[in-house]
Amino acid sequence: MNNSAVTAVPAPQEPAVEDFAGDALAGLSAQPKTLPSKYLYDTRGSELFEAICEQPEYYPTRTELSILQDEAASMAEAVGPRALVVEYGSGSGIKTQRLLDALPDPVAYVPIEISHSALNASVAELATQFPEIEMLPLCADFLQPVRLPASERPAERVLIFFPGSTLGNFDTDAAVRLLTTMRTEMGDNGAALIGIDLKKDPAMIEAAYNDAAGVTADFTLNLLDRMNRELDADFDRERFTHRARYNAIAGRIETHIVSDCAQTVRVAGRPIAFTEGEGILVEYSCKYSQSDFAAMAHRAGLVVTRSWTDADRRFALQLVEPLPE
The confidence score (pLDDT) of residue 4 equals 47
What are the residues facing 182 on neighbouring strands? none
Taking the C-alpha atoms of residue 55 and residue 100, their distance in angstroms, rounded to an integer, is: 26
pLDDT 10s digits, 261-285? 999 999 999 999 999 999 999 999 9
The confidence score (pLDDT) of residue 1 equals 41
The confidence score (pLDDT) of residue 318 equals 98
The confidence score (pLDDT) of residue 17 equals 63
The candidate with the shortest Cα–Cα distance to 108, out of 132, 89, 90, 125, is 132
Taking the C-alpha atoms of residue 252 and residue 245, their distance in angstroms, rounded to an integer, is: 8
What are the residues facing 98 on neighbouring strands? none
The confidence score (pLDDT) of residue 21 equals 95
- The SS3 of residue 206 is helix
Judge residue 246's burial from the number of C-beta atoms within 10 Å of its C-beta, 0-12 exposed, 13-18 middle, 19 or more buried: buried
Would strands 191-197 and 240-247 be described as parallel, antiparallel, or unpaired?
Answer: unpaired
CA dihedral 28, 30, 36, 37 (to 10 degrees): 80
The confidence score (pLDDT) of residue 16 equals 57
* Ranges of residues in the chain whose predicted pLDDT is under 50: 1-15
Name every residue whose Cβ is closer than 8 Å to that of residue 277 and which is 6 or more positions away in sequence. 258, 259
Query: Which stretches within 55-171 are classed as H helix?
Result: 59-70, 72-79, 94-102, 116-129
Maximum C-alpha span of the chain: 62
* CA-to-CA dists, residue 190 to 85, 303, 311, angstroms: 10, 12, 28
Phi, psi of 110 (to 5 degrees): -120, 90
Name every residue whose Cβ is closer than 8 Å to that of residue 165 and which is 6 or more positions away in sequence. 60, 64, 195, 196, 197, 285, 315
> Where do the domains of the chain lie, and which CATH numbers do they carry?
17-56+207-286 (no CATH), 59-200+288-322 (3.40.50.150)
Taking the C-alpha atoms of residue 318 and residue 55, their distance in angstroms, rounded to an integer, is: 25
Radius of gyration of the chain (CA): 20
Half-sphere exposure of 224 (CA within 13 A, CB side): 22
The confidence score (pLDDT) of residue 46 equals 86
Q: Which long-range contacts (CB under 8 A, 24 or more apart) does 205-209 make?
A: 205/246, 205/253, 205/287, 206/244, 206/245, 206/246, 206/253, 207/57, 208/57, 208/58, 208/59, 208/60, 209/244, 209/253, 209/255, 209/285
Taking the C-alpha atoms of residue 13 and residue 10, their distance in angstroms, rounded to an integer, is: 8
pLDDT 10s digits, 110-137? 999 877 777 888 888 899 999 999 999 9
Taking the C-alpha atoms of residue 46 and residue 205, their distance in angstroms, rounded to an integer, is: 21
Mean pLDDT over each residue of the chain, to the nearest integer: 92
The confidence score (pLDDT) of residue 9 equals 42
The candidate with the shortest Cα–Cα distance to 99, out of 190, 16, 161, is 161
